Amino acid sequence: MGKTVDPFWAAVASFGVDQLFVLPEWIKTKVAEEQIVIPEGIPGKMAALEEELSGCMKCPLGSTRKNIVFGEGNSEAGILVVGEGPGATEDETGRPFVGRSGKLLDKILASIDLNRENLFIANIVKCRPPNNRAPSSSESEICSKFLEQQIEIMKPGVIIALGASAARTLLNTRTGIGLLRGEFHSYMDTPVLVTYHPAALLRSPALKRPVWEDMKRLKSFMGEAGLPRESGEK
C-alpha cells in the first residue's frame, strides 16, 4: 500500500501529527469532489449545455453571428417549440423569436394559453445564417446535435416544429408542411406536431386558418397528455 503525503496533510502534520497514512484513492476522491460540479435538474443541465456552446465555431455560422441563440423559456414544462434559426433581431439580442415572426408566434401561442413561461423555444441552428438565408444541410446537421441534447435533457411531451427546416431536420423528411400537418409524427418517441412557420403567415395570411386548426389539435393533445407540466414533474 503506498504512503502519500499531500500538501494538505503536510500542513496537518506541521501541527504536531508526525505520521499519516493516506490512501491515494482517498485523495483523488477529495480533489474530484472539490472540482467537479454535476448540474442537477433540467434547468441546471440546460445551463451547463448553454455554457458548453459558448464560443462555438463548429460551423461557418460561428464567424458571422453576433450572439448564440440557445433558446429560452420553461425547460420543465414539457412543451418544446422549434424554429429554423435566428434572424437579425435574435442575433442582436441572443433571444429566440423576438422579431416580427416572434410577435406573431406569441399571439398564436397565446390563443391556446401558451407563453414563454409554460414552454421552451429553440431553433435548429443557434447562430444566424447571413442575409436570412435558410441554414445549409451541413449547418443544420452539425448544430442539431445541440438541439438533440436539449431534447434529451427536457424529455418534452410534445414538440411543435415550425416550418420546413424544423420538420425536415426532426423528421428526416423532404415532405412539405402541407402534407405533414394535420397529424402527429414522432421524433425518438416524442410526438411532433408540424405547422407553418410564422414568417410564412406574414407572407401568406391564408395560412392562418390551417395554423389555427393545428393549434386546436395541439390544445386537445395537451389536455390529454397533462401538458404543460408543473415544475419538477416528469
By beta-carbon proximity to ligand URA, the closer residue of 65 and 229 is: 65
Which residues, 6+ apart, have CB-to-CB distance to 135 below 8 Å? 61, 84, 85, 124, 125, 129, 143, 165
**Contacts of ligand URA in 155-174 (CB under 6 A):** none
For residue 147, which of 77, 80, 65 has the smallest C-alpha distance? Answer: 80
Cis peptide, bond prior to residue 228, ω within 30 of zero: yes
Question: What cell was used for 42?
Answer: 433540467
By beta-carbon proximity to ligand URA, the closer residue of 83 and 229 is: 83
Largest distance between two CA atoms of the chain: 85
By beta-carbon proximity to ligand URA, the closer residue of 106 and 148 is: 106
CB of 43 to ligand URA, least distance (A): 20
Q: Which listed range, 33-41, 48-56, 77-85, 207-215, lies at the site for ligand URA (CB under 6 A)?
A: 77-85
Residue 85 as a binder of ligand URA (CB under 6 A): the answer is: yes
Residue 71 as a binder of ligand URA (CB under 6 A): the answer is: no
Residue 135 as a binder of ligand URA (CB under 6 A): the answer is: no
Residue 120 as a binder of ligand URA (CB under 6 A): the answer is: no
Residue 87 as a binder of ligand URA (CB under 6 A): the answer is: yes
Residue 83 as a binder of ligand URA (CB under 6 A): the answer is: yes
Burial class (CB in 10 A: 0-12, 13-18, 19+), 228: buried
Count of residues that interact with ligand URA, criterion CB under 6 A: 11
By beta-carbon proximity to ligand URA, the closer residue of 104 and 154 is: 104
Residue 97 as a binder of ligand URA (CB under 6 A): the answer is: yes
Percentages helix, strand, coil for the chain, rounded to the nearest 5? 50, 10, 40
Q: Which listed range, 6-14, 22-30, 78-86, 110-118, lies at the site for ligand URA (CB under 6 A)?
A: 78-86
By beta-carbon proximity to ligand URA, the closer residue of 101 and 140 is: 101
**Contacts of ligand URA in 22-61 (CB under 6 A):** none
Q: Where are the alpha helices (DSSP H) in the chain?
A: 7-13, 24-35, 41-53, 88-93, 100-110, 137-154, 163-171, 177-180, 198-203, 208-225
SS (H, E, C) 193-220: EEECCHHHHHHCHHHHHHHHHHHHHHHH
Q: Using CB under 6 A as the criterion, which residues of the chain lie in contact with ligand URA when the complex forms?
A: 83-87, 90, 96-97, 101-102, 123
